[in-house]
Amino acid sequence: MQRERRKRRVRKRVSGSTERPRLSVFRSHKNIYAQIIDDAAGQTLCAASSRDKELAEALRSRGGNKSAAAVVGRALAARARMRGIKAVAFDRSGYRYHGRVRALAEAAREAGLKF
């Protein structure tokens, strides 16, 4: 309930445009998901998650830890670069910028995304 309130409060200010789409993060107990969204067009431009088959080798362990989040962040940044996306607006979806969310964000930054 509290996370949903924080999410709504953040989403009032953070929205994705064609020039600067929104990087949205969702964290479950077992996995982490991230997608880049153009809110103006209402489209998901690219996505990555710890459940992706392509990332299975890199994620030998479960998808609910910081190392898995970093792999997902790097994969998302690579997919974004292939689509020509260089800068995004980070939407943490009401989660604290800590742990898995922070690991995903820092890995995406290291891989070339700007936010």
Q: Domain extents for the chain?
A: 2-110
Q: Are strands 43-49 and 89-91 parallel, antiparallel or unpaired?
A: unpaired
> What is the pTM for the complete model shown?
0.90
pLDDT for residue 82:
96
Going by C-beta distance under 8 Å and a sequence separation of 6 or more, which residues neighbour residue 33?
A: 25, 26, 27, 47, 48, 49, 50, 51, 72
Average pLDDT by consecutive 10-residue portion of the chain (115 residues)? 89 82 95 95 95 85 86 97 95 94 97 95
Write the single-letter amino acid at 27.
R
Q: How wide is the angle at C-alpha 66 spanned by C-alphas 45 and 39, nearest 5°?
A: 20
pLDDT for residue 16:
79
What does DSSP assign to residue 87? B
pLDDT for residue 9:
86
**Residue 34, both tokens:** 């991230």
- Would you tell me which CATH number, out of the four given (3.40.50.720, 3.60.21.10, 3.30.830.10, 3.30.420.100), belongs to the domain 2-110? 3.30.420.100
pLDDT for residue 90:
95
Closest CA to 104 of 89, 92, 86, 94: 92
pLDDT for residue 92:
92
**Residue 88, both tokens:** 């995004």
Write the single-letter amino acid at 62.
R
| Burial class for 46, CB neighbours closer than 10 Å (0-12, 13-18, 19+) | buried
pLDDT for residue 56:
82
pLDDT for residue 42:
92
Residues forming a β-bridge with 74: none
